[in-house]
């Protein structure tokens, strides 16, 4: 059996269960491509899965390779694949139902893969798919955000939030973001019109009503957010389904988004990146052998943008 390096878990638990080791090369099915991974990225879902919180929805056989953001080069294609060929530079948010990208190679359905943006390297490209698709889905498909509308983006400096700010600004919306004070200037430069320091003021006291609230925090932040949604507006959460009763009481709508692979959106997003409209924010680049450190950083909840694994140059 041909082997590769990968980060796997053999049991659910803390960062210490992440094992950098030899693993079998993935086999590809007829509709798959095999990607030679140049970079992968960390998302909070990785450590949530590592801790076992998603076992009910995703009953993985262990060992499992984590990581559902990849940028790399096509190594081989399945018999039915006509859209890609070996040598193509691609990026993807692969299905959560299979082994992930903390590895030298990953098998991905061709329909989940898009050509990588040309103007950025693999390390930056790996920082895009999961977070950017989530922001796109939440703002434009669920939230139907349009030019001239007002949007409040919670955790605007995070992986998802940093794309949401740039997408909303590109769309022509008035963009308000919440963050700690140290991220204020960063968010203004990224395109926010107004930044609320959540340690210094309560957003519901200072923000005029908005058309769309994008909730990436949940809990009491989601509860307090109802107060500032305009009648006819919408609260979109990626954390938990918002209360129907609250939506009715505030004469607005609500939506819960759980990300799906969307290669068509990745193609559009690549174009925005290539014309300089959107840029990935990368806080740290680490080797795969430091997966435990990367998860510890992500679990602080204080990351600006993304943490990336450089797997090969
Ligand atoms: N449902 C889905 O499909 C889906 C998809 C993607 C992500 N998610 C979830 O969405 C959440 C966000 O993901 P992410 O990748 O953006 O996480 P992340 O990158 O880890 O978020 C970190 C950011 O959160 C900010 N933050 C922390 N507490 C805050 C608060 N009370 N108010 C405002 N900002 C705060 C931090 O800013 P400061 O340092 O300035 O505090 C930091 O920049 C995670 O729980 C993730 O699992 C769900």
- On the question of pLDDT at 52 being above 90, the answer is yes
pLDDT at 1: 84
Residue 253 has pLDDT above 90, yes or no: yes
**Tokens found for residue 117:** 């943006």
Give the whole-number percent of the chain exceeding pLDDT 70: 100
Threshold 0.75, pTM exceeds:
yes
Q: Could you tell me which CATH class the domain 131-256 is placed in? A: alpha beta
More confident residue, 259 or 68: 68
pLDDT, average across residues 222-243: 98
Q: What mean pLDDT comes out for the span 292-298? A: 98
Can you tell me whether residue 113 is helix, strand or coil?
strand
CA distance 185 to 38: 32
Sketch the domain layout of the chain as residue ranges: 3-128+280-310, 131-256
Span 41-48, mean pLDDT?
98
Q: What is the pLDDT of residues 68-89, one digit of tens each?
A: 999 999 999 999 999 999 999 9
Determine the Cα–Cα distance for residues 210 and 109; give it in Å rounded to an integer.
39
Of all protein residues, the one whose alpha carbon is nearest to atom 12 of ligand 1 is: 216
Residue 154 to residue 147: CA distance in whole angstroms: 19
CA 22 to ligand 1 centroid distance, Å:
32
Identify the pLDDT of residue 95: 96
Residue ranges of alpha helices (H) inside the chain are: 44-50, 122-126, 129-136, 159-171, 184-190, 203-206, 219-225, 244-249, 263-274, 291-299
H or E segment to which residue 197 belongs: strand 194-197
- Give the chain's length: 313
- The rounded distance, in Å, linking the Cα atoms of 192 and 190 is 6
**What is the distance in A from the centroid of ligand 1 to the CA of 215?**
9
Q: Is the CB of 257 under 6 A from ligand 1?
A: yes
Backbone angles phi, psi at 59, to 5 degrees: -80, 80
Smallest CA-to-CA distance from 236 within 151, 149, 159 is with: 151
Q: Using alpha carbons only, give the angle 224, 230, 231 rounded to the nearest 5 degrees.
A: 115
The dihedral over CA atoms of 183, 187, 193, 198, expressed in degrees to the nearest 10, equals -30
* Alpha carbon of 250 to ligand 1 centroid (Å): 25
Q: Whose CA is nearest to atom 15 of ligand 1?
A: 159
Q: Which of 42, 203, 301 to mutate for ligand 1's pocket (most ligand atoms within 8 Å of CB)?
A: 301
Region 172-181: what's the mean pLDDT? 98
d(CA 179, CA 102): 29
pLDDT at residue 12 tops 90: yes
Tens digits of per-residue pLDDT, 20-36?
A: 999 999 999 999 999 99
- 115 band by pLDDT with thresholds 50, 70 and 90: very high
Q: Is the pLDDT of residue 251 over 90?
A: yes
For residue 54, the tally of other CB atoms under 10 A from its CB is 15
If one residue of 44, 135, 154 were mutated to test the ligand 1 pocket, choosing by the most ligand atoms within 8 A of its CB, it would be 44
Please give the mean pLDDT across all residues of the chain.
98
The reply to whether 3-128+280-310 and 131-256 are identical in fold is no
162 touches ligand 1 (CB under 6 Å) = no
**Separation of CA 76 and ligand 1 centre (Å):** 35
CA 306 to ligand 1: nearest atom = 19
Residue 174: what pLDDT? 98
Specify the CATH number of the domain 3-128+280-310: 3.90.180.10
- Measured from the Cα of 48, ligand 1's closest atom is 47
């Amino acid at each position: 059996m041909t082997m590769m390096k990968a980060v796997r878990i053999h049991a659910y638990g803390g960062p210490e269960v992440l094992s950098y080791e030899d693993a079998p090369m993935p086999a590809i099915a007829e509709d798959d491509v095999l990607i030679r991974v140049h970079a992968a990225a960390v998302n909070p879902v990785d450590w949530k899965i590592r801790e076992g919180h998603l076992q009910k929805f995703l009953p993985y056989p262990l060992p499992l390779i984590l990581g559902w953001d990849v940028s790399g080069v096509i190594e081989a294609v399945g018999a039915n694949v006509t859209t890609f060929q070996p040598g193509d530079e691609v990026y993807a948010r692969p299905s959560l139902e299979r082994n992930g990208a903390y590895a030298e190679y990953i098998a991905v359905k061709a329909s989940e893969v898009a050509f990588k943006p040309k103007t950025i390297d693999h390390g930056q490209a790996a920082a895009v798919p999961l977070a950017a698709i989530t922001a796109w889905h939440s703002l434009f498909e669920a939230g139907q955000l349009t030019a001239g509308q007002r949007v409040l983006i919670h955790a605007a400096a995070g992986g998802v939030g940093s794309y949401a700010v740039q997408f909303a600004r590109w769309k022509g919306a008035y963009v308000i973001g919440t963050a700690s004070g140290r991220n204020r200037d960063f968010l203004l430069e990224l395109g926010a019109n107004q930044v609320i320091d959540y340690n210094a003021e309560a957003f519901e006291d200072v923000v005029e009503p908005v058309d769309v609230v994008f909730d990436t925090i949940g809990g009491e932040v989601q509860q307090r957010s109802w107060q500032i949604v305009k009648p006819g507006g919408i609260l979109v959460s990626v954390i938990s389904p918002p209360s129907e009763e609250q939506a009715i009481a505030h004469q607005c709508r609500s939506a819960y988004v759980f990300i799906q692979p969307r290669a068509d959106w990745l193609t559009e997003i690549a174009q925005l990146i290539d014309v300089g409209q959107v840029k990935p924010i990368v806080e740290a680049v680490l080797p795969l052998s430091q997966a435990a450190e990367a998860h510890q950083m992500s679990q602080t909840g204080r990351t600006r943008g993304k943490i990336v694994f450089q797997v090969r140059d």
